[in-house]
Chain A
Amino acid sequence: MTKNANIDILPMACVGLLLVIMMIMTAPMTMTHSNTRVTVPKTHTAERKTEEDITITLAKDGKLYLNDQLTDRLELEDQLGEVIDKDPYCLVVVRADKDVYHKDVLDLIAIAKQAGATRIACATKKRKD
């Protein structure tokens, strides 16, 4: 008499599914630099896809961060230039608080452009309504 012993793969599939969910959730956190807390504007359109980027953060109090590291405007262009020299098509994301003046954001975009950035995006959050 032969027993029909099958391997139960369901628990393995469940674990695999959990791993996929965890990876989907953690991938954007590791690839982007959005640890500095700012309230970015909310919009309906969401163009940017998650990819490795350079993030310039402008906080409400005027502090400036490059990839979550505190910096200032004088050093920013050199630091950006070094990164963009290695990858000229690297995406530069400007994360500015919604309450800062627009001219300050324009200054940052101008610095990024002077440093050689070709792809610039303004960080936003998707509106729920």
Chain B
Amino acid sequence: MSRKRIKHEVRNEGLILTSLVDIALSLVIGFIVALPFFFESGIFVSQPGVAKAVNGQESDVKVNIFLTNDGRIILNEKAVPKETLSSLLPQLLARSVSKRVIVSSDDRVRYDDVVQILDLAKQSGAADLCLLRTSKIR
């Protein structure tokens, strides 16, 4: 009876790291995508100062938004629902040169409500957001 000798060849195969690298790369991409949700960002705002009046009428389209205590939104002295505001704002800002939105509110308006309006204005294409303080006339 003849015995067959099985030769075991020792191959010098390196560790297959392709899958590991893939996972690591996926993790990196996941981190980069998720980072903005972990950390705070912000919206730039300004408070208009008193400027010297210039001669002649200004022809630029104005976007003045006022929030009342009872939740109404007044756009250029006309009450509008929020749904209408989101459709009107892009149209107004498209015609405006300065693309400035001035937001003011009553005393008892929550900060979150104002920020939502600022967010909507930014999404609609506003370049400059101004927060106006209103003082009561006595």
Q: List residues of chain A with CB under 8 Å of any chain B CB.
A: 10, 14, 17, 21, 24-25, 28, 32, 34, 40-41, 43-48, 50, 93, 95-106, 109-110, 113, 119-126, 128
Contact = CB atoms under 8 A, between A and B. Distances in A.
B118 A21 contact: no
Contact of B110 (A14, A98, A123, A124): A98
Interface stretch (B33-41, B55-63, B76-84): B33-41
Interface in B87-112: 105, 107-112
A101 B44 contact: no
Given A17-B24, A25-B31, A101-B109, A47 B42 contact: yes
B26 interface: no
B109 to A, nearest CB: 5
Given A14-B24, A44-B119, A101 B111 contact: yes
Most buried by A among B36, B37, B41: B41
Nearest to B112: A98
Contacts of B37: 125-126, 128
* A contact face: mostly helix, strand, loop, or mixed: mixed
Contacts of B40: 32, 34, 40, 95, 123-125
B46 A47 contact: no
Contacts of A95: 40
Contacts of B67: 102
A102 B111 contact: yes
Contact of B107 (A101, A121, A125): A101
Nearest to A46: B41
A24 B33 CA distance: 12
Given A10-B17, A24-B32, A105-B111, A47 B44 contact: yes
B115 A124 contact: yes
A98 B116 CA distance: 10
B122 A45 contact: yes
Contact of B112 (A44, A45, A99): A99
5 contacts: A24-B32, A102-B67, A120-B45, A121-B45, A122-B43
